[in-house]
Each structure stands twice: as C-alpha cells, then as structure tokens.
Amino acid sequence: MLTARAPVRATKVCAYAIPAEMLDKVASASARAGDAFRFRTAEVMTLEDGAVIPAGTLGYGIVREASAAGRHDHNGVIALEPRYLIVEKPDGNAARIDVAMNPTLPLAYSPETTLIEKGISHIPLPVPGLVMTGVNTVRWGKNITIGPGFTFSVLPVGNLARSPVC
C-alpha cells in the first residue's frame, strides 16, 4: 500500500520587514485618497547594504483609498500605502529610504461585523428576504479609524530584488 507523502511546507521570510506604528489618525469617514500620514519604526534594522534604520525613524505614506460608511450596510474602508523613511545621519544629513507595505498584510482595512449582527440577519421571519432588504436599505455601515497604536510592517524597496520573497 502506498501512502502519500506529507506536503512540504513553504516558509515565507521577510528578512527586512521593519515593524512600524502609526502616528497619525486616519478615519474612513473623513480621509480621502492622497491624504498623507506619518508612522515610525519600532525596532532597529540593519539592511543588506549596511544601512542602519534606528528605532523611531519617521516614515511617510499616503491613503491609497478611503470610503466612508453608507447605507445598505456598506462599511467604511481605508487602504494605506507607506512610501518612505527619513533616516537622520550623525553628520546632520538625512537619507530617504523608499518602502512598501509588507505584502503579507491586508491591503485594505474595514470593520468586522459582530457575531450578534450576523445572527440577527439570519433570524427566520415570515418573509426574511423582504424584511432584511428593507432593514439594509436604511441601515448604515460602520466607519473605521486607524491611529496611534496600529502596527504593521514595511519593506525597503531597494532590497526587494535581492532579498527573499515574502
């Protein structure tokens, strides 16, 4: 009897993923595509070329997409696009390091529907489709706010061609 071999597990390595934390508050209710936001690195990172990115290095990005909550239970959405870090050097000069969002993270963020809300939409009613259609017509979705304390990671763009794929 032949037995199947266990599949080989693929490992994803982001050797140069730099942990970061938001500094500014971005809300789906008021944000617009192109708005700027700031973040800072959370750990020291030494890149392949020897460049050192200290913890607390400021980074800048833009809101790639934003949509406010609306009727028909439409939740708000925010998509962030980190762009670059400004590394202050000891000689007083600054270097710009282009970065991209870690591809293992979600591209857009939206609020979750609670279990209670999911359950209510499945209560058996005499005409459930008609009733829920009426409710969803007037029910507003939820907005999302991403602000200080929200963590993610970025990758230096210059190292992407030489480093392992995430």
Q: Is the pLDDT of residue 125 over 90?
A: no
Specify the pLDDT at position 166: 57
Predicted TM-score (pTM) of this structure: 0.71
Q: Is the pLDDT of residue 159 over 60?
A: no
Q: Is the pLDDT of residue 162 over 80?
A: no
How does DSSP assign 104-143, residue by residue?
TS-SEE-PPPPHHHHHHTT---SSHHHHHHHHHHH-----
Give the domains, in start order, of the chain with CATH numbers: 18-159 (2.40.128)
Specify the pLDDT at position 164: 58
Q: What is the per-residue pLDDT across 130-145, written as a single tens digit (0 to 9) for each?
A: 444 555 555 678 898 9
Per mean pLDDT, which range of 67-81, 99-113, 127-141 is the poorest?
Answer: 127-141
CA 153 – CA 166 distance, rounded (Å): 12
157 or 126: which leads in pLDDT: 157
CA 160 – CA 154 distance, rounded (Å): 11
31: which residues sit within 8 A by CB, 6+ positions away?
Answer: 63, 66, 78
- In what helix (H) or strand (E) does residue 124 lie, and over which residues does it extend? none
Give me the amino acid identity at 120. Answer: I
Q: Is the pLDDT of residue 123 over 70?
A: no
Q: Alpha-carbon Rg of the chain, whole angstroms?
A: 22
